Structure 1
Amino acid sequence: MQSPVNKQAGQALVESVVGLTYVVIPLLIILPFMAKIGGVQHKAQQASHYSAWERTVWKERRPSKLPRRSGLYLAQKSEQDTAKQIPWRFYQNDGNKLTSRNSSQWDWNKSVHPILRHQTQQNQSADTLLKSNQQTPANTNVLDRFTRSHSGGRLPGAVGSAVGRAVGLLSFTGFSLERDQFYRTSISSNIQNLYLAPFDNLNLNISSNSALLASGWNAAGPYHVKNRVKRLVLTNYMDVSVIRTAQSLLGIIPFGKELRPSRLKLGYVDPDILPTNRLCTYGTTNCGG
């Protein structure tokens, strides 16, 4: 004998309530938070790459063989000055002009991009996700919400050893290059905990590392180039008074005019000289026209 089927009134409603309570609503709360964590990670990656790439343009200290004369410009910037540019370049609101000299005051509560702000406390407005490095936040300190490390060392591995030996072999000429130009940078930030359990004890730390070999050859103008390469020109060691006198005597002979010191300049270095095809007026015949 078959038992009668009982109608389960309200079953779909109960399932919907359970699904909304334990799945949908938590996801609606957590997904925006996790998306902004991804934004923080992306900003950290950009900042670490920037810190490393800046060393291809700005030197940290005076390079070797830099001549002491007027008219030279050395692009030099300390690690701290580079770090102070990070919030303005990567954490601030959209639509602001980037400049190396900021006239306005930075504020971690007002200046940061919306992707770096979220409601982390119940019944409060959105706050900056990046946690302060101090017990009492210093919102006007551009270095308050992230930490950074920066180090320059020798290129690791077989390539670094080969370069070191090559430069070492040339050291007897007085030639030298900076060999500590393999820069490692790291940007790290602590994230505010969310007020909902179990996310109130996450204590997340977002970090990004970058490494770059910034060529030690970068020179501060043509005079610096000349100082560095002149000793590598072997005929430079023949540029002495005895040989110049011999050149002058040989220049008296009709077929020896090209040997005169004014014509045959031993050890002569001109870092600004250009190929003939680069000296033409662009757009004319045989010059891009």
Structure 2
Amino acid sequence: MAEFVVMTAGCLLLLFVLVPVVAKLSDMSYKAQELARYTAWERTVWYNSFGSSDTLPSQIDTKDGYLAIRSDAAILNSAEQRLLPYEATTRRFAATDIDQPTASNNLWRWTHSGQAMTTAGSAAASSGLLNSATPSTAYSVLDTYNDVMGTVNKVLKVISFGGGDDDFLQVAHPTQNFYKSTIDIPVPMAGGRLGGQPLLGDRFANQLNVKANSAVLADGWVAQSEGHFREKTDDFVLGTLIEDNPLWGVVRSLIGIFEPSFKDVNFAPVSTKPMPDGDVNCNTTTGFCYFK
């Protein structure tokens, strides 16, 4: 009986208390890793609206809606709302997805207590998503090349009377696109109760932080509209430098007086119109197919 009492008080009772706590903390550790991967992956499809010019392609034009843009805060808020809510299923994407999490998003609770282990918005507020230079010699070479071509393009801009392609002969690709996410979920240790008594003292409040890290190389073109794609494809077309030169327009108009067909001359026939979604007629002899 003495051995049973010692074992119950010293082992089993302690085990019953620790198993739910350890299980929840393990669950939080897994969720932190999931949030870290989610926030890093989001940078492969969204550009940072508050990023420096180095983090964006050179042809960015947000007012025309060329790019899908989200701030770091919006991504972190979205991650917490979609992955940490106290719900049976993951929330679907909605307009409020990027808003700051509300009090309804408390996830875990201490055993024998209604105290939330983490308050809504605390994970997003404590976490971060930063970009850095892509760790590659090729990107260093690319930066140097673009700097040199940028100087050359300034001379061409003078010859073009302020016209021409601003990114002519430059590779339109961001070089600061190595993103690192750091997730930090602060866990208030105080508040849990057992038998009406505090499970942990107040000195343990906010002493635990569940952390995880992830990284991603957002190395895609991410052409997100027809206009954006055109801007990224015409930088090495010499005709764009000519067509955007105001002087060329005058010359074409003057010659067009004597030869009307000259008005239709176009040195920059870059077409980025999408292929029509329709049936085609295929010639079995030649092997070529044509849209109807």
Q: TM tier, shorter chain?
A: 0.5 to 0.7
Pick from 210, 217, 222 the counterpart of residue 213 of structure 1: 217
Q: Equivalent residue for 1:228?
A: 232
2:176 and 2:93 map into 1 onto residues whose CA distance is 29
Q: Equivalent residue for 2:16?
A: 28
2:136 and 2:63 map into 1 onto residues whose CA distance is 38
Residues 33-52 of structure 1: per-residue CA shift (max 9 Å, x gap): 01100111122112222222
**Structure with bigger gyration radius:** 1
1:204 and 1:69 map into 2 onto residues whose CA distance is 43
Contact 2:39–2:75, Cα closer than 8 Å, also in 1:
yes
Contact 1:65–1:227, Cα closer than 8 Å, also in 2:
yes
Q: Equivalent residue for 1:136?
A: none
**Counterparts of residues 199-210 of structure 1 (less than 5 Å):** 201=204, 203-210=207-214
Residues 78-120 of structure 1: per-residue CA shift (max 9 Å, x gap): 2222222233201111246423234999554x5433xx1113x
Identity %: 20
1:273 and 1:41 map into 2 onto residues whose CA distance is 45
Pick from 157, 170, 176 the counterpart of residue 180 of structure 1: 176
Structure 2 unaligned blocks of 5 or more: 50-55, 154-166, 193-197
Q: Does residue 1:48 correspond to 2:36, yes or no? A: yes
Q: Equivalent residue for 1:118?
A: 110
SS at match of 1:185: strand
The Cα of 1:237 is off from its aligned counterpart by 5.5
Larger mean CA deviation between 23-32 and 77-86 belongs to 77-86
1:166 and 1:81 map into 2 onto residues whose CA distance is 34
Q: Equivalent residue for 1:78?
A: 71
Whichever residue aligns with residue 7 of structure 2, its letter is: G
Contact 1:83–1:143, Cα closer than 8 Å, also in 2:
no
2:239 and 2:124 map into 1 onto residues whose CA distance is 57
TM-score (norm 2): 0.64
2:203 and 2:33 map into 1 onto residues whose CA distance is 25
Contact 1:182–1:211, Cα closer than 8 Å, also in 2:
yes
2:216 and 2:131 map into 1 onto residues whose CA distance is 10
The Cα of 1:215 is off from its aligned counterpart by 3.0
Whichever residue aligns with residue 218 of structure 1, its letter is: V
Whichever residue aligns with residue 227 of structure 2, its letter is: Y
1:169 and 1:210 map into 2 onto residues whose CA distance is 34
Contact 1:178–1:216, Cα closer than 8 Å, also in 2:
no
The Cα of 1:59 is off from its aligned counterpart by 1.5
The Cα of 1:204 is off from its aligned counterpart by 2.0
The Cα of 1:29 is off from its aligned counterpart by 0.8
Q: Equivalent residue for 2:272?
A: 271
TM-score (norm 1): 0.65
2:18 and 2:57 map into 1 onto residues whose CA distance is 51
SS at match of 2:127: strand
SS at match of 1:212: strand
SS at match of 1:31: helix
**Counterparts of residues 61-210 of structure 1 (less than 5 Å):** 61=49, 63-66=57-60, 72-92=65-85, 93-95=87-89, 97-102=91-96, 107-108=102-103, 110-113=104-107, 116-119=108-111, 125-130=113-118, 142-143=121-122, 146-165=125-144, 167=146, 171=150, 172=152, 174=167, 175=170, 176-193=172-189, 195-196=198-199, 201=204, 203-210=207-214
Label 1:231 to 1:45 Cα distance change in 2 as closer, same or farther (>3 A). same
Q: Equivalent residue for 1:37?
A: 25
The Cα of 1:210 is off from its aligned counterpart by 1.4
Which is helix-richer, 1 or 2? 2
Label 1:40 to 1:68 Cα distance change in 2 as closer, same or farther (>3 A). closer
1:67 and 1:191 map into 2 onto residues whose CA distance is 41
1:44 and 1:227 map into 2 onto residues whose CA distance is 38
2:240 and 2:92 map into 1 onto residues whose CA distance is 47
Q: Equivalent residue for 1:17?
A: 5
The Cα of 1:64 is off from its aligned counterpart by 2.6
The Cα of 1:232 is off from its aligned counterpart by 1.2
SS at match of 1:85: helix
Contact 1:150–1:183, Cα closer than 8 Å, also in 2:
yes
The count of residues paired between Structure 1 and Structure 2 equals 242
Whichever residue aligns with residue 49 of structure 1, its letter is: R
